[in-house]
Homo-oligomer: A and B are copies of this chain.
Amino acid sequence: MPHNVRVCIIGAGVAGLKAAHTLLTAPNTPFGSTDVVVVEAQHRVGGRIKTDTTRSKLGAQYDLGASWFHDALNNSVLRECVADGSFDVRSDGYFDDKTIAYYVSEVSGRLDAEEMKLRQVVEDIESFIEIYYANHDSPDMSLRDVVGLYMEQQQAFLSEEQINYCSRMVRYLELWHGIDHVHMSGKYAVMSHQGRNLYNRKGFSHLINLLMQTVGPSVLTGRPVKRIQRKSRGTSSRHIAETADGSVFSADYLVVTVPHSVLTLDAGHEHGITWEPPLPRSMTDSISNMHFGALGKVVLEFESVWWDNNEDRFSILANGRAECGSGSAKPFEYPLYVVNYARIYAGTPSLVVLIQSPVTEHLEANPHLAWPYMRSMLSKLKVPTCITVPEPINVIVTDWSLNPYSRGSYCAPHVGDDPIDEVVQLSGEQDLCGLGAGSTVRFAGEHTISHGAGCVHGAFDSGERAARWILAHNESSNAASS
């Protein structure tokens, strides 16, 4: 017997929970708790938001997934959490954007990036890329190659040090997208931001908990959806979602928030979803024209702080010559981005290191190799009074690439990808795209939206978008039938 509901939401990440929350709390909403079900594959909610409070040996907490409010000038989640009093910017936030300190294998101590005007050249490279791709005929190429083009054309304008360091510095983008510069689309590598990045000291689970206070009774966990049947009859439709345990949910509206990485799986895949009828070619094409990154984190806890505690962040550059692409990771082959936790949580002696594909997959599968991989790179951060770098007392490695329901971090543009098309096809805003603007199957998630793509607030907004569409559609359907 199917569970009959009005709205079935697939996925209890922030997009799905926000969709349910909007449906249940909109003024004069016709939807109550029993009208809405959120079906979640895993035995936990939150998706790629996960604030860990149990694994620290220092009593600290770590956001293993999202940890910053990006676009702080125009971030709906930040705005709402400040407005409802659940987030106090001064005590719960920290702008960890002091100019990043750079280190390289061949120099001891911090690079004097200021005197060498390295940041200025990195910004120049980004301007160059923007100008280059303002010409729509310019072919996409890897970030590495378009930076190479800059270096070739601008060589006469650059010092030896700028030539040596700046193409390595631009690889900081690998720690935004979670992919390396050989795979990364040069065209879509550089992002525009709407404001600063605010570290969420409170942990992003507070947002999940807040949503769950209202939505909790509608959430069912441990039910991976295996099959989705879209059924339309005239103006009404009735869709079916079937989970691995054989449960069947029948609903007027479906909100599909599974990650891009799951949408790309074949129906025959162990964790794939069978669509009946299959998704139209325009959608499957757009989905396959986008890739998925693997941003990982390695938390290193120490007895005490041994690095320069005047810095918010450190960047350890890769060596220039090394090529990317091998499955294993050699030190200095990929850049590291290191967040100084001791500045964010006064005194907590830990570092949070961001890593990119393919390092992430390698270290997530082999967490015992994380410290051996990083030791020599991180030793660059030593202050002169520190003789040897101590061993960490605790190493925590994320497992996003191992998790069959996340399969990495978030969408990331490879060379030749089209990040806009997937949004057009899945946002349900245009009639001739995807399932059409009138379809009662809606998509949400970080991969379905432009502003905030890859971010908490993007997923959040996309969930709200789906819910508002359903509320409006339901109201106009009722008006039509009365």
Interface residues of A (CB under 8 A from B): 72-74, 82, 89-90, 93, 95, 97-99, 114-115, 117, 119-120, 124, 127-128, 131, 154, 156-157, 193-196, 198, 310
List 28 A-B residue pairs with CB atoms under 8 Å apart, sorted by A's residue number: A72-B124, A72-B157, A73-B124, A73-B127, A73-B128, A73-B131, A73-B154, A74-B131, A82-B156, A89-B156, A90-B156, A93-B157, A95-B120, A97-B117, A97-B120, A98-B115, A98-B117, A98-B120, A99-B114, A99-B119, A120-B196, A124-B195, A124-B196, A127-B193, A127-B194, A127-B195, A128-B195, A131-B194
Contact indicator A89/B157 (Cβ below 8 Å)? yes
The CA-CA distance from A128 to B117 in the complex, in Å, is 26
Residues of B within 8 A of A154 (CB): 73
Residues of B within 8 A of A196 (CB): 120, 124
Residues of B within 8 A of A82 (CB): 156
Contact indicator B131/A117 (Cβ below 8 Å)? no
Chain B minimum-CB-distance residue to A72: B157
The CA-CA distance from A99 to B117 in the complex, in Å, is 8
Residues of B within 8 A of A120 (CB): 95, 97-98, 196
Q: How far is the CB of A191 from chain B (nearest CB, A)?
A: 13
Residues of B within 8 A of A156 (CB): 82, 89-90
The CA-CA distance from A416 to B131 in the complex, in Å, is 29
Residues of B within 8 A of A73 (CB): 124, 127-128, 131, 154
Q: How far is the CB of A124 from chain B (nearest CB, A)?
A: 5
Q: How far is the CB of A152 from chain B (nearest CB, A)?
A: 14
Q: How far is the CB of A132 from chain B (nearest CB, A)?
A: 10
The CA-CA distance from A310 to B117 in the complex, in Å, is 13
Q: How far is the CB of A37 from chain B (nearest CB, A)?
A: 38
Residues of B within 8 A of A127 (CB): 73, 193-195
